[in-house]
Amino acid sequence: MFNFRQDFIRFAVERKVLRFGEFQTKAGRLSPYFFNAGLFNDGDSLRNLSQFYAQAILTAELPFDMLFGPAYKGIPLAAGTAIALAEQGRNAPYCYNRKEAKDHGEGGSTVGAKLAGRVLIIDDVISAGTSVRESIELIRAEGAEPCGVVIALDRMERGLGDLSAVQEVRESYGLPVIAIATLNDLLDYLQGEAEMIENLNAVQAYRDLFGVEYEHV
Please give, one letter per residue, the 3-state secondary structure of the chain. Answer: CCCHHHHHHHHHHHCCCEEEEEEECCCCCEEEEEECHHHCCCHHHHHHHHHHHHHHHHHHCCCCCEEEECCCCHHHHHHHHHHHHHHCCCCCCEEEEEEEEECCCCCEEEEECCCCCEEEEECCCCCCCHHHHHHHHHHHHCCCEEEEEEEEEECCEECCCCCEHHHHHHHHHCCCEEEEEEHHHHHHHHHCCHHHHHHHHHHHHHHHHHECCCCCC
Cβ neighbour number for residue 124 with a 10 Å cutoff: 20
pLDDT tens by residue, 183-200: 999 999 999 999 999 999
Q: Which range has the worst mean pLDDT, 3-17, 36-50, 103-117? A: 103-117
Would you please indicate which residues are annotated as catalytic (active-site) residues?
102, 104
Higher pLDDT, 171 or 159: 171
Domains of the chain listed by start with CATH number:
4-209 (3.40.50.2020)
Work out the pLDDT band at 161, boundaries 50, 70, 90.
confident
> pLDDT class for 130, splitting at 50, 70, 90?
confident
pTM listed for this prediction: 0.93
Q: Are 66 and 119 in contact (CB under 8 A)?
A: yes
The Cα 189–Cα 203 span in angstroms is 12
The whole-chain average pLDDT of the chain stands at 92
How would residue 1 be classed by pLDDT, with cut points 50, 70 and 90? very low
pLDDT given for residue 127 in this prediction: 78
